Chains A and B, each alone.
Chain A
Amino acid sequence: MVSLLEEKSLIEKLKNGEPSAFELMFGQYRDKVYNTALGLLQNKEDAKDISQEVFVEVFRSIHNFRMQSALSTWIYRITVQKSLEWIRVKNQKKRYALIVSLFGKEDQIQKTNDTPFYHPGVLLENKERSAILFQAISRLPINQRTAFTLHKVELLSYAEIADVMQVSVPSIESLMFRAKQNLKRRLALYYEKNEP
């Protein structure tokens, strides 16, 4: 756990462009950034690319950081924004592929990645079930997906998620409630189709 004083000193060093400070910050946040991106994107390569983009953005924007929130909150926020932007672009490509398929140009269709996602941190006995859950999570509305992932995958508290998403704690409670309801409904449909 980094104290407030240490964090302030780290931020000052980052603002002065000290490479050692960046290395220190990278060491502290690389797993958090990667794990958050991985939970949201459900793809290791995409998560790696987003992690890289996040740290470049942190380095580029550190001078605009006003310390109105914790450094971790700010970095999580950048990670979520970058990941959601990535998802938006990917969804646009999928929609384009769908339109192209309607006109019968099969060769131009980009194959969508429907392979199950196995999170490397999930317990072995939960591997298969978690893949089904992740598939259901990927079909949630974006805010519910973000809140649920930050809570269940990155293990952030509701208050921390509220800071990252810049909404109130009751809003997060509401998002989580709706996310769980939607997931249960989707899992019920899955069960009926695939009866394990």
Chain B
Amino acid sequence: MKSKEQWITETMGSLEGIHRADSDPLIFSRIADSSRFPSKRTALPGNRLIWQIAAGLAFLVTLNIFSLVVYSRSTAAPQTTENIIVAEYFSYLDTIKY
């Protein structure tokens, strides 16, 4: 019968000569099939960049709409007789030299 100390020493040494356990080679195919592992990485822009581009586009669209509205208002003034007389009157004032 072994003494307690001897048994403990032998048990503590029971991992001597251990070999590395072989893994399952099929793990790779499991990973490759996984949706979390794309076969080819595609460079996607970051969230910040997307928001910056979106904000820039929104600004340009707003600016265009604003310009169109201003332009349409300025060109839409009706050419009435009254308008023509007023315009001619003020053009006459431009010719006076003080």
Contacts and interface: CB of A to CB of B under 8 A. Distances in A.
Contact of B23 (A51, A153, A188, A191): A51
Interface string A169-196: 0000000000010011001100110001
Nearest to B4: A191
A160 interface: no
- Does more than half of chain B's interface fall in helix, strand or loop, or is it mixed? loop
A122 interface: yes
A133 B21 CA distance: 17
A20 B69 CA distance: 58
A30 B29 CA distance: 12
B17 A123 contact: yes
Interface in A82-118: none
B10 to A, nearest CB: 6
A129 B21 contact: no
Nearest to A63: B41
Interface stretch (A3-11, A33-41, A64-72, A138-146): A33-41
B18 A129 contact: no
Contact of A191 (B7, B14, B22): B7
Interface residues of B, number: 31
B24 interface: yes
Given A38-B21, A196-B7, A17 B15 contact: no
A30 B25 CA distance: 8
B41 A184 contact: no
Interface string B62-94: 000000000000000000000000000000000
Contact of B28 (A23, A123, A130, A180): A23
B58 to A, nearest CB: 30
- Does more than half of chain A's interface fall in helix, strand or loop, or is it mixed? helix
A77 B22 CA distance: 20
A26 B31 CA distance: 10
B19 A121 contact: yes
Given A17-B40, A19-B39, A126-B14, A52 B21 contact: no
B24 A48 contact: yes
Interface of B: 2, 4, 7-8, 10-12, 14-25, 27-28, 30-32, 34, 36-41
